[in-house]
Amino acid sequence: MKRKQKLILIKNKNQPLTEQVFAALHQGIVEGVLKPGERIMEIHIADELGVSRTPVREAISKLELEGLVVTENRKGAYVKPMTIIDIKELHQIRGALEALASQLAAQNATKEEIDNMITYNQKFEQAVLDNDDDGIVKYDILFHDTIYKASRNLKLTQMISSVREQMQRLRVEYVHMISHKDPLIGQHKDIIKNIVEKNPQEAYEAAIGHIKISEDDMVRVFEEKSDI
């Protein structure tokens, strides 16, 4: 079955072709265009991107080094599925960093940033009601990114960025898996409330609670619907 979405090759004369192909495949994996377990066939990818097989082969090797692709005898290269261990480890890191970001945001967020948090959360919840997977992922990311920015801690923001793409990939896979999305509504409420009321410790604890709920549900869904 052919994919509905296509990979996007952004041409840049100042960038080697292998890097352009790598970026296209990397983005495709993170955004769920290339699905977990999907085979990455050099000739098909080359045709889709309008390039030769050599830069595709080199890009696949680089993706394998980053842990996004697995190559096996007879099976070839395929997108590595997220595992239960991946979910737990990512949430351990995310919980610690986002709790601190929320605590600092309760001290430092501007009115504009708070308004943006509220707006993004409203759009997130509307996307849930509309069963709009892309909207759910988009506005969830924007909501949390606003908290990171409001922390006013550049080092913290940089550390969060290092796991951001992995979390985005996990979000996409999770949202596509669940059929009943209504439980996602209201999960940001206590974080917003305590940032608005400038309660740093309560915002910290609300973020910890939110991430724990997220972890538990993702683990449950992946255990029920995947073969990992």
Q: What pLDDT digit, counting tens, does each position of 45-104 carry?
A: 999 999 999 999 999 999 999 889 999 988 899 999 999 999 999 999 999 999 999 999
Task: Indicate if 205 and 219 belong to the same structural domain.
Answer: yes
**Residue 1 maps to a domain:** no
Based on the fold, state whether residues 65 and 96 are members of the same structural domain. Answer: no
Q: Is residue 7 part of a domain?
A: no
Which alpha helices (DSSP H) does the chain contain, by range?
17-30, 42-49, 53-65, 84-108, 111-129, 133-150, 154-177, 189-196, 200-225
Q: Residue 6 falls within a domain, yes or no? A: no
Sign of CA dihedral 95, 163, 64, 74: positive
Same domain for 97 and 191, yes or no, is: yes
**141: in domain:** yes
Give the integer Cα–Cα distance in Å for 189 and 202: 12
Looking at the structure, tell me whether residues 192 and 148 fall in a common domain. yes
Q: What percent of the chain has pLDDT over 70?
A: 97
Residue 202 counted as domain residue: yes
* Number of domains composing the chain: 2
Q: Is the pLDDT of residue 227 over 60?
A: no
Dihedral sign for Cα atoms in the order 164, 94, 132, 25: positive
User: Which residues 6+ apart lie within 8 Å of 206 measured at CB?
Assistant: 102, 190, 191, 193, 194
Whether 10 is covered by a domain: the verdict is: no
Is residue 112 in a domain? yes
Position 1 pLDDT exceeds 90: no
Same domain membership, residue 176 and residue 139: yes
Give tens-digit pLDDT for 178-223: 988 999 999 999 999 999 999 999 999 999 999 999 999 999 999 9
In which residue are the tokens 């929320």 written? 102
- Domain limits for position 55: 17-79
- Short-list 173, 149, 170, 174, CA closest to 160: 149
Q: What pLDDT was estimated at residue 165? A: 87
- Judgement on whether residues 157 and 179 belong to the same structural domain of the protein: yes
